[in-house]
Protein backbone atom coordinates (compact mmCIF):
# COMPACT_ATOMS: atom_id res chain seq x y z
CA UNK A 1 0.00 0.00 0.00
CA UNK A 2 1.42 3.44 -0.89
CA UNK A 3 2.24 5.87 1.92
CA UNK A 4 -0.75 7.91 3.09
CA UNK A 5 -1.33 11.33 1.55
CA UNK A 6 -0.36 14.00 4.10
CA UNK A 7 -3.18 16.55 4.05
CA UNK A 8 -3.27 19.93 5.83
CA UNK A 9 -6.64 21.69 5.98
CA UNK A 10 -6.10 25.44 6.44
CA UNK A 11 -8.97 27.67 7.54
CA UNK A 12 -8.91 31.33 8.49
CA UNK A 13 -11.44 30.37 11.23
CA UNK A 14 -13.03 33.81 11.62
CA UNK A 15 -16.77 33.48 10.82
CA UNK A 16 -17.19 30.45 13.09
CA UNK A 17 -15.82 32.42 16.05
CA UNK A 18 -17.83 35.58 15.34
CA UNK A 19 -21.22 34.41 14.05
CA UNK A 20 -23.30 31.99 16.15
CA UNK A 21 -25.26 30.75 13.12
CA UNK A 22 -22.02 29.68 11.41
CA UNK A 23 -20.74 28.10 14.63
CA UNK A 24 -23.98 26.10 14.80
CA UNK A 25 -23.31 24.63 11.34
CA UNK A 26 -19.62 24.05 12.04
CA UNK A 27 -19.02 23.85 15.82
CA UNK A 28 -15.43 22.67 15.29
CA UNK A 29 -14.83 25.14 12.47
CA UNK A 30 -14.97 24.39 8.75
CA UNK A 31 -11.55 22.78 9.10
CA UNK A 32 -12.77 20.51 11.90
CA UNK A 33 -15.84 19.46 9.92
CA UNK A 34 -13.79 18.73 6.81
CA UNK A 35 -11.14 16.82 8.74
CA UNK A 36 -13.86 14.59 10.17
CA UNK A 37 -15.82 14.08 6.94
CA UNK A 38 -12.80 13.51 4.71
CA UNK A 39 -11.07 11.08 7.10
CA UNK A 40 -9.96 7.90 5.29
CA UNK A 41 -7.30 5.21 5.76
CA UNK A 42 -5.16 6.59 2.91
CA UNK A 43 -5.14 10.15 4.33
CA UNK A 44 -3.14 11.62 7.20
CA UNK A 45 -5.06 14.80 7.99
CA UNK A 46 -4.03 17.74 10.15
CA UNK A 47 -5.53 21.23 10.41
CA UNK A 48 -4.08 24.74 10.68
CA UNK A 49 -5.66 28.15 11.24
CA UNK A 50 -4.78 31.79 10.75
CA UNK A 51 -4.55 32.43 14.50
CA UNK A 52 -1.76 29.91 15.12
CA UNK A 53 1.88 31.06 15.07
CA UNK A 54 2.93 31.36 11.39
CA UNK A 55 -0.75 30.59 10.63
CA UNK A 56 0.04 26.96 11.46
CA UNK A 57 2.04 26.74 8.24
CA UNK A 58 5.61 26.51 9.45
CA UNK A 59 8.23 25.27 7.01
CA UNK A 60 8.20 21.93 8.83
CA UNK A 61 4.41 21.59 8.42
CA UNK A 62 4.52 22.50 4.74
CA UNK A 63 7.45 20.18 4.09
CA UNK A 64 5.32 17.39 5.56
CA UNK A 65 2.25 18.33 3.49
CA UNK A 66 1.40 16.67 0.17
CA UNK A 67 -1.92 18.45 -0.31
CA UNK A 68 -3.01 21.74 1.27
CA UNK A 69 -6.70 22.72 1.44
CA UNK A 70 -7.43 26.45 1.75
CA UNK A 71 -10.57 28.20 3.00
CA UNK A 72 -10.44 31.98 3.59
CA UNK A 73 -12.80 34.93 3.20
CA UNK A 74 -12.81 37.73 5.77
CA UNK A 75 -9.10 37.81 6.55
CA UNK A 76 -7.23 37.41 3.26
CA UNK A 77 -5.22 40.55 4.06
CA UNK A 78 -4.19 39.15 7.46
CA UNK A 79 -2.24 36.33 5.84
CA UNK A 80 1.44 37.13 6.07
CA UNK A 81 3.16 37.61 2.70
CA UNK A 82 6.12 35.51 3.88
CA UNK A 83 3.79 32.56 4.53
CA UNK A 84 2.16 33.03 1.11
CA UNK A 85 5.62 32.91 -0.50
CA UNK A 86 6.40 29.75 1.46
CA UNK A 87 3.19 28.05 0.25
CA UNK A 88 3.84 29.17 -3.33
CA UNK A 89 7.34 27.70 -3.23
CA UNK A 90 5.96 24.39 -1.98
CA UNK A 91 3.45 24.33 -4.88
CA UNK A 92 6.27 25.04 -7.33
CA UNK A 93 8.13 22.10 -5.75
CA UNK A 94 5.16 19.73 -6.16
CA UNK A 95 2.65 20.21 -3.30
CA UNK A 96 -1.01 20.07 -4.34
CA UNK A 97 -3.29 23.01 -3.45
CA UNK A 98 -7.09 22.79 -3.18
CA UNK A 99 -8.66 26.25 -2.93
CA UNK A 100 -12.30 26.38 -1.85
CA UNK A 101 -15.04 28.95 -2.42
CA UNK A 102 -14.04 32.50 -1.35
CA UNK A 103 -10.40 31.47 -1.52
CA UNK A 104 -10.61 32.84 -5.06
CA UNK A 105 -9.57 36.19 -3.53
CA UNK A 106 -6.82 34.80 -1.30
CA UNK A 107 -3.29 36.01 -1.89
CA UNK A 108 -2.06 32.52 -2.72
CA UNK A 109 -4.80 31.80 -5.27
CA UNK A 110 -4.44 35.17 -7.00
CA UNK A 111 -0.68 34.76 -7.23
CA UNK A 112 -0.81 31.27 -8.68
CA UNK A 113 -3.84 31.96 -10.88
CA UNK A 114 -2.10 35.05 -12.21
CA UNK A 115 -5.15 37.30 -12.55
CA UNK A 116 -7.43 39.19 -10.16
CA UNK A 117 -9.68 36.18 -9.45
CA UNK A 118 -12.71 38.52 -9.42
CA UNK A 119 -16.30 37.47 -10.09
CA UNK A 120 -19.94 38.47 -9.51
CA UNK A 121 -21.72 37.35 -6.34
CA UNK A 122 -25.08 37.44 -4.57
CA UNK A 123 -25.91 36.00 -1.17
CA UNK A 124 -29.56 35.03 -0.86
CA UNK A 125 -29.31 31.26 -0.41
CA UNK A 126 -30.44 30.14 -3.87
CA UNK A 127 -30.26 26.76 -5.58
CA UNK A 128 -26.93 25.86 -7.20
CA UNK A 129 -26.91 23.09 -9.81
CA UNK A 130 -23.39 21.76 -10.37
CA UNK A 131 -22.80 20.16 -13.79
CA UNK A 132 -19.91 17.80 -14.39
CA UNK A 133 -18.63 18.73 -17.85
CA UNK A 134 -15.55 16.47 -17.88
CA UNK A 135 -16.77 13.14 -16.49
CA UNK A 136 -13.52 11.47 -17.64
CA UNK A 137 -11.42 13.50 -15.19
CA UNK A 138 -10.34 11.62 -12.01
CA UNK A 139 -11.81 14.41 -9.85
CA UNK A 140 -15.22 13.59 -11.36
CA UNK A 141 -15.02 9.85 -10.59
CA UNK A 142 -18.32 8.65 -9.13
CA UNK A 143 -19.83 12.15 -9.31
CA UNK A 144 -23.24 12.31 -11.06
CA UNK A 145 -23.76 14.29 -14.25
CA UNK A 146 -25.30 17.02 -12.12
CA UNK A 147 -26.24 17.56 -8.50
CA UNK A 148 -28.09 20.26 -6.57
CA UNK A 149 -27.02 22.27 -3.55
CA UNK A 150 -30.28 23.72 -2.17
CA UNK A 151 -28.85 26.85 -0.52
CA UNK A 152 -25.74 28.59 -1.74
CA UNK A 153 -24.20 31.95 -2.44
CA UNK A 154 -24.15 32.76 -6.18
CA UNK A 155 -20.87 33.30 -7.99
CA UNK A 156 -21.24 34.48 -11.60
CA UNK A 157 -19.15 34.95 -14.71
CA UNK A 158 -17.00 36.53 -15.87
CA UNK A 159 -14.61 34.82 -13.46
CA UNK A 160 -11.09 36.15 -13.87
CA UNK A 161 -9.09 32.93 -14.10
CA UNK A 162 -6.03 31.85 -16.03
CA UNK A 163 -6.41 30.88 -19.69
CA UNK A 164 -4.89 27.45 -19.05
CA UNK A 165 -7.59 26.49 -16.54
CA UNK A 166 -9.02 23.02 -17.24
CA UNK A 167 -12.70 23.19 -16.34
CA UNK A 168 -14.34 20.11 -14.81
CA UNK A 169 -17.48 21.57 -13.22
CA UNK A 170 -19.90 24.32 -14.24
CA UNK A 171 -22.60 25.72 -11.98
CA UNK A 172 -26.01 27.13 -12.84
CA UNK A 173 -27.81 29.27 -10.27
CA UNK A 174 -31.51 29.76 -9.67
CA UNK A 175 -31.14 33.46 -10.47
CA UNK A 176 -29.84 32.65 -13.95
CA UNK A 177 -26.04 33.01 -13.75
CA UNK A 178 -23.47 30.38 -14.70
CA UNK A 179 -19.97 29.87 -13.31
CA UNK A 180 -16.88 27.74 -13.93
CA UNK A 181 -17.02 26.19 -10.48
CA UNK A 182 -14.29 23.56 -10.64
CA UNK A 183 -11.02 23.73 -12.56
CA UNK A 184 -7.39 22.71 -12.39
CA UNK A 185 -4.09 24.44 -13.07
CA UNK A 186 -0.48 23.32 -12.89
CA UNK A 187 2.11 25.69 -11.46
CA UNK A 188 5.68 24.46 -11.45
CA UNK A 189 5.53 20.80 -10.37
CA UNK A 190 2.39 21.34 -8.29
CA UNK A 191 -1.25 20.90 -9.19
CA UNK A 192 -4.04 23.25 -8.15
CA UNK A 193 -7.76 22.54 -7.94
CA UNK A 194 -10.32 25.28 -7.31
CA UNK A 195 -13.81 24.24 -6.19
CA UNK A 196 -16.51 26.87 -5.72
CA UNK A 197 -19.18 25.57 -3.29
CA UNK A 198 -18.61 26.22 0.42
CA UNK A 199 -20.21 29.43 1.68
CA UNK A 200 -19.86 29.43 5.48
CA UNK A 201 -23.51 30.34 6.21
CA UNK A 202 -24.88 27.19 4.54
CA UNK A 203 -24.38 23.48 5.30
CA UNK A 204 -22.47 22.89 2.03
CA UNK A 205 -19.64 20.99 3.71
CA UNK A 206 -22.16 18.43 4.95
CA UNK A 207 -23.27 17.76 1.33
CA UNK A 208 -22.27 14.27 0.15
CA UNK A 209 -21.44 15.17 -3.46
CA UNK A 210 -19.40 18.21 -2.42
CA UNK A 211 -17.39 16.03 -0.05
CA UNK A 212 -16.95 13.44 -2.83
CA UNK A 213 -15.46 16.07 -5.16
CA UNK A 214 -13.11 17.32 -2.41
CA UNK A 215 -12.06 13.75 -1.61
CA UNK A 216 -11.33 13.04 -5.29
CA UNK A 217 -9.49 16.35 -5.55
CA UNK A 218 -7.15 15.44 -2.70
CA UNK A 219 -6.20 12.14 -4.37
CA UNK A 220 -5.62 13.84 -7.73
CA UNK A 221 -3.50 16.57 -6.13
CA UNK A 222 -1.02 14.13 -4.62
CA UNK A 223 2.40 15.26 -5.89
CA UNK A 224 3.66 13.37 -8.94
CA UNK A 225 7.15 14.52 -7.93
CA UNK A 226 8.12 16.57 -4.91
CA UNK A 227 11.46 18.33 -5.14
CA UNK A 228 13.02 21.75 -5.65
CA UNK A 229 14.04 22.78 -9.15
CA UNK A 230 16.78 20.36 -10.26
CA UNK A 231 20.32 21.42 -9.39
CA UNK A 232 21.30 20.86 -13.02
CA UNK A 233 20.21 24.32 -14.12
CA UNK A 234 23.70 24.84 -15.65
CA UNK A 235 24.37 21.35 -16.97
CA UNK A 236 27.57 20.15 -18.60
CA UNK A 237 26.96 19.24 -22.25
CA UNK A 238 25.99 15.62 -22.85
CA UNK A 239 28.18 15.54 -25.97
CA UNK A 240 31.12 17.69 -27.11
CA UNK A 241 30.19 21.04 -28.62
CA UNK A 242 32.30 21.96 -31.65
CA UNK A 243 34.15 25.28 -31.33
CA UNK A 244 32.44 28.10 -33.22
CA UNK A 245 33.95 31.18 -34.72
CA UNK A 246 31.19 33.47 -33.52
CA UNK A 247 32.40 37.00 -33.04
CA UNK A 248 29.90 39.69 -32.34
CA UNK A 249 31.21 41.97 -35.10
CA UNK A 250 31.23 39.25 -37.75
CA UNK A 251 27.64 38.11 -37.76
CA UNK A 252 26.28 40.58 -40.20
CA UNK A 253 24.21 42.86 -38.04
CA UNK A 254 23.24 45.64 -40.40
CA UNK A 255 22.66 48.98 -38.83
CA UNK A 256 19.72 50.80 -40.35
Residue nearer to Zn ion on the CB measure, 128 or 153: 153
Return the number of other C-beta atoms located less than 10 Å from residue 58's C-beta: 15
Residue 85 and residue 58 in contact, taking contact as beta carbons nearer than 8 Å: no
Stretch that binds Zn ion, among 50-58, 188-196, 197-205, 236-244 (CB under 5 A): 197-205
Q: Name the minimum Å distance from CB 110 to Zn ion.
A: 16
Stretch that binds Zn ion, among 51-59, 110-118, 162-170, 199-207 (CB under 5 A): 199-207
CB-closest chain residue to Zn ion: 199
The gap from C-alpha 162 to its chain's centroid, in whole angstroms, comes to 13
Across 224-251, b (16+ Cβ under 10 Å) vs e yields eeeeeeeeeeeeeeeeeeeeeeeeeeee
Does the footprint of Zn ion cover residue 12 (CB under 5 A)? no
Best CA proximity match to 55, nearest among 116, 108, 24, 12: 12
Residue 233 to residue 104: CA distance in whole angstroms: 33
Residue nearer to Zn ion on the CB measure, 120 or 166: 120
Residue 127 and residue 204 in contact, taking contact as beta carbons nearer than 8 Å: no
Residue 94 to residue 187: CA distance in whole angstroms: 9
Q: Figure out which of the listed residues 88, 104, 199, 222 binds Zn ion, where binding follows CB under 5 A.
A: 199
- Positions in 34-93 near Zn ion (CB under 5 A): none
- Positions in 137-196 near Zn ion (CB under 5 A): 153
Q: Name the minimum Å distance from CB 11 to Zn ion.
A: 13
Residue nearer to Zn ion on the CB measure, 62 or 98: 98
Q: Figure out which of the listed residues 8, 102, 171, 216 binds Zn ion, where binding follows CB under 5 A.
A: 102
The residues binding Zn ion (CB under 5 A) are 102, 153, 199
Amino acid sequence: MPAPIRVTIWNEYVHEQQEPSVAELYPDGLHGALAKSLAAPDLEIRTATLQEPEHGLTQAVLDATDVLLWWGHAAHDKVDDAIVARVRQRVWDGMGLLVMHSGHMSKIFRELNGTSGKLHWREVGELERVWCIDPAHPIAAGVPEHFDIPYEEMYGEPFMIAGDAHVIFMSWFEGGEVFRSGFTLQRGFGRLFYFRPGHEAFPTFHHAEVLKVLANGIRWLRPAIDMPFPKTHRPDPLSPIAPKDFKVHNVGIVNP
